[in-house]
Structure 1
Amino acid sequence: MSDRAAREAATVELFELRARATDPVEQQMLLERIVELNLEIARGIAQRFRGRGVELEDLEQVACVGLMKAATNYRLDADTPFIGYAVPTIRGEVRRYFRDSAWTVRIPRRLQELQGLVSAKLPELEQELGREPSTEELASYLDVDEAEIEQAMAARGCFNVLSLDRPADDDGLSLAEVVPDEDDVAVSRLEAVDMLQPILDDLGSRERRILELRFVEGWTQADIGAEVGVSQMQVSRLLRRTLTELRERLAPMAAAA
């Protein structure tokens, strides 16, 4: 049995013990054991978000909060294995931290974005004019209303913005150079593998072999049929049935994300 499968089995056993426990102290102790057993998941997700302007220790703490939330809210009668519930919960907690932690006072998102635009473009305009621009000049330069500029400037000091010029790693890259414009595909792929693994483990050996040959090795259905001893039509049916089952079991995970 793989380490991942062993961890999942041990986690289920702890959840079952917790469900039967009536003593709140014992319930809390079992919850903490579940979290400790699955800390690797939280740390792994935190590692994937490192180098984006937040200390790894802070990321790990946030990820652990997400793990605790997942362990607290997870129900054994759910169709989703715990890892499939925990991964999107932890990931969502970390993303919320990135979205919210830089702001000590919440202001409208439009003003947040405008403040960032002002911070980025103001040096350009100052260099062009050779002096500090007026509010009217800045508004014209950014093609926004002067009133919005005034509101954004008034919001200064209500939040902390990470400088995009701050060093993000030992290679001298800045934060702007390591923060992706879109979701990190590698992160999403690794998390998908984590969620898929316990589901794939439940498949029969023939189904797993067919999936491997088709989607990893790139074999044709005819070649797969010859390899596993069935017809091409049977391979097609097995693939369709297996993929349908995977989609159905992954649907709750996608909703949780």
Structure 2
Amino acid sequence: MAAVTATAAHPVTRTAESAEDLAGAPLPQIGAPQKVAPRDARELSRVFFARLAVLEEGTHEYQYARNTLIEMNLSLVRYAATRFRGRGDQMEDIVQVGTIGLIKAIDRFELSREVEFTSFAVPYIVGEIKRFFRDTSWAVHVPRRLQEARVELAKATEELRTRLGRTPTVAELSALMSLPESEVIEARKASNGYHSTSLDATLTGESGVDGEAVLADFIGQEDPGMQLVEDISTLAPMVSKLGERDRQILHMRFVDEMTQAQIGEQLGISQMHVSRLLTRILTRLRKGMLAAN
């Protein structure tokens, strides 16, 4: 049985061996798994998968084999992530999500499938990245036309930025995308719906702000007094249409804060009569307010 070795300077040398032979072979110690060339990683992965299948989960050797497989095959994640470079998300975030797909593929792969691990893993990686975009994209509803325009805008922006060495203008983007400038501007606005910002997000460096502040500090809150202003504006015309005595009773009760007995004494009527008059007046005003709203 041929030995399997790998170092940064001398990658892997191996003769053809069966899965049974590989399962019994000792695991090579790889100091820097991420530096193993992709071609060598494919060969070494067969050895590690064969041993992983017979090792007891949770043991030190099992963890070493699994972790080494993850690190050796991270190049697959980076390769798949480049397909999503124009989506506007941080590449680091996309790679992290893709790594979850890689781990799922490693945990489910078997040498008996007689398929290259790379062919098996890439759909898992891409699927996880697509799921990430599906679950996190478009914080607000945006028409599909603008969603598609945003993707094209991101690609055009990246292309022109690389070519010009600066951020392209709307006119330059319009020429490359063969779209009116108004649609380019609209696509840019649509991009704002792609991500939402937490109200607890910290804002620093804002003028006039001492220390750190959060976004919620700069967003107005509902003022109960505004509702009162609206109610008074609606109520005023209704009160003006009341008779003189009705308006007088309202003024004495709610402005002068007189009791019903005091109002009755001043008007020369009973307290019960004042109560019935107030009920009639307030019922009329209440119906008017409900109709107005």
Q: TM-score range by the shorter chain?
A: 0.3 to 0.5
Structure of higher RCO (CA pairs closer than 8 Å, 6+ residues apart):
1
In our comparison, the structure showing a higher alpha carbon Rg is 2
TM-score (norm: length of structure 2): 0.37
TM-score (norm: length of structure 1): 0.42
